[in-house]
Copies of this chain bind each other. A is one copy, B any other.
Amino acid sequence: MSDQDASLINGEEQKICEVLPFVDDDYGGVIVEMKTPMDNKSFVAALKYSFAQWRLQGKKGVWLNLPLSHVNLVEPAVKEGFRYHHAEPTYLMLVYWIPEAESTIPLNASHRVRVGAVVLNQNKEEKYGTLCGTGVWKIPTGVVDEGEDIFAAAIREVKEETGIDTEFLEILAFCQTHESFFAKSDLFFVCLLRPTSFDIQKQDLEIEAAQWMRFEDSACQPITQKHDLFKAIHLICSMKMEKRYTGFSTKRITSFFDDKLGYLYSNKQEDMNNHIS
């Protein structure tokens, strides 16, 4: 969308146009959220008129959130210079950078995050779920939901797969792999949990059975022998039980990037608590 387009619209169509519905973002840009249906021609006219205003106001990034119901506006938006940013099942987010200066539009999300949960009870038994139909006993695993804390996802997965309530202790390790789906990467966090209830009630449909398993027996499973990662998890748990291993526990903290509250995962939390309020 050039300045010329904008002034043409300014001169000729200003009276019949309204600025598209938008809110300011925190970085000098605007977010357009289309809520009522609109035909392509009115949309393009309103878009050109809105850009004229936003340029005058020195706006930077223009985000355009198009719900699935507004799919007709995707093509005209791209033809006006918008580019895709990210998409979820129900909407597509496009973006347009107005200034001459280099874009500071944030990069898209690049990683999916998964958790695996090791639950150790006082008898040094691990809790295992089993994959339906495979006959392999494995620790509960699952994908961290959007907006969910890693430790909370581990607690949730254990509850869903076995009915056991747990308390999060530590991240023991994590693994990063690439091209997990298309160009996206995967982060898998191994979590150690302590049970606060003990009666297993298989809950998840994907799970065939759930049981407490002796730590030594879990080591003998072919899956533990075959896979580097399971072998490593088992070894780390051995060291942990002998108190020779320190994972990362949580602390509520404010991020310096955007002052958002989050969790810091680190070891030596007892020292940290004395220094950070």
The answer on a CB contact under 8 Å between B275 and A235 is: yes
User: CA of A258 to CA of B144 in the docked complex: distance in angstroms?
Assistant: 18
A138's nearest neighbour on chain B, judged by CB, is B256
Given that A188-B257, A229-B255, A239-B271 are contacting pairs, would A178 and B147 also be in contact in the complex, using a CB cutoff of 8 Å? yes
Q: Looking at the assembled complex, report how far the CB atom of A270 sits from the nearest CB atom of chain B, in whole angstroms.
A: 11
The count of identical subunits is 2
A122: interface (CB < 8 Å): no
A111's nearest neighbour on chain B, judged by CB, is B111
* Residues 163-202 of A at the B interface (beta carbon under 8 Å): 172-188
Q: Looking at the assembled complex, report how far the CB atom of A230 sits from the nearest CB atom of chain B, in whole angstroms.
A: 6
Q: What 1/0 mask marks residues of chain A from 219 to 236 whose CB sits below 8 Å from any chain B CB?
A: 000010001111110011
Tell which of A16-24, A50-58, A70-78, A210-218 binds the partner. Answer: A70-78
User: CA of A262 to CA of B173 in the docked complex: distance in angstroms?
Assistant: 13
A263: interface (CB < 8 Å): yes
Q: Which of B84, B109, B183, B258 contacts A110 (CB 8 A)?
A: B109
Other than the known A147-B178, A176-B262, what 6 A-B pairs have Cβ atoms closer than 8 Å?
A: A107-B146, A109-B110, A110-B112, A228-B256, A245-B267, A245-B268
The answer on a CB contact under 8 Å between B147 and A176 is: no
* Residues 49-95 of A at the B interface (beta carbon under 8 Å): 68, 71-72, 74-75, 78-79, 83-93
A254: interface (CB < 8 Å): yes
- Tell me which residues across on chain B come within 8 A of A257, comparing CB atoms: 114, 177, 180, 186, 188
The answer on a CB contact under 8 Å between B188 and A176 is: no
User: CA of A246 to CA of B173 in the docked complex: distance in angstroms?
Assistant: 12
- Tell me which residues across on chain B come within 8 A of A109, comparing CB atoms: 108-112, 184-185
The answer on a CB contact under 8 Å between B68 and A83 is: yes
Q: Looking at the assembled complex, report how far the CB atom of A65 sits from the nearest CB atom of chain B, in whole angstroms.
A: 8
Given that A71-B75, A177-B261, A275-B231 are contacting pairs, would A146 and B267 also be in contact in the complex, using a CB cutoff of 8 Å? no
Q: Looking at the assembled complex, report how far the CB atom of A152 sits from the nearest CB atom of chain B, in whole angstroms.
A: 10
A41: interface (CB < 8 Å): no
The answer on a CB contact under 8 Å between B147 and A272 is: no
* Residues 28-62 of A at the B interface (beta carbon under 8 Å): none
Given that A86-B86, A108-B88, A147-B185 are contacting pairs, would A256 and B271 also be in contact in the complex, using a CB cutoff of 8 Å? no
A266: interface (CB < 8 Å): yes
A207: interface (CB < 8 Å): no
The answer on a CB contact under 8 Å between B232 and A265 is: no
